[in-house]
Amino acid sequence: MSGRWKAERRRDPYIWMARKRGYRSRAAFKLIQLNERFHFLDEARYIVDLGAAPGGWLQVVAEHLPRDGLAVGVDLKPVKPLEAENVITLEGDALEAETLKRLRRLFPRGVDVVLSDMSPSISGVWEIDHRRQLDLARGALRIALELLRPDGWLVVKAFQGSEYEAFLREVKASFSYVKAHKPMASRKGSAEIYVVARGPKRGAPSRPSQPWNSPG
């Protein structure tokens, strides 16, 4: 870690607040602020969180989830189990066909919210990182179109760069309501923004013909 990065971390109020409130990540505040604005967690019962590790968003989800609800976090990395029994995690690649199968089994009647905070491991080469991140955002869009109930929400992180406007158009073509929003807790210098969409359109065009990574 560089000295500048360390100094920035020391000054970051969200890191302090996360420690104080027992959140596993400062990212928890991004979800809190997004929900304060859009209220997608307020009445949600069935929730999928893609890119869930270390579990900050899941902790926020758990605070809103009714007893008879279910939230499932998915990540390439293991997530330490949460105290809430109705919040579980799957270790795996969100873009693999097998993950969608597992989610379908867990949510046979669909979900109210699909969250995605997925980011690739950062290579440092912006064009590569941006494209990889948008591949993940598009994966979240496909999963949302497969799993969401008619009035359901998608909240997906996207890196703003050359591909971003095209991605936003894809979301707009697929949902009735779409807004892009950068919460206060998202670092000013970062390219990330969250696309918040509600109401998947029937027969949305971004349902791909070759949707999933499959072995071979």
Ligand X SMILES: C[S@@+](CC[C@H](N)C(=O)[O-])C[C@H]1O[C@@H](n2cnc3c(N)ncnc32)[C@H](O)[C@@H]1O
Which residues are identified as catalytic?
A: 157
Q: How far is the CB of 122 from ligand X (least distance, A)?
A: 10
> Closest approach of Cβ 150 to ligand X, in Å?
26
Question: Given the complex with ligand X, which of 37 and 150 has the nearer CB atom?
Answer: 37
H or E segment to which residue 70 belongs: strand 70-75
Smallest distance, ligand X to C-beta of residue 176, A: 26
Q: Which residue type, as a one-letter code, is found at position 96?
A: E
Site of interaction with ligand X (CB under 6 A): 24-25, 27-28, 50-57, 74-77, 93-95, 117-120, 136
- Torsion over CA of 6, 32, 83 and 102, rounded to 10 degrees? -100
Of 24 and 182, nearer to ligand X (C-beta) is: 24
How far apart (Å, rounded) are the C-alpha atoms in residues 163 and 150?
28
∠ CA(174), CA(167), CA(71), 5° rounding?
A: 65
Q: Which is nearer to ligand X, 119 or 160 (CB)?
A: 119
Total Cβ atoms within 10 A of residue 52:
28
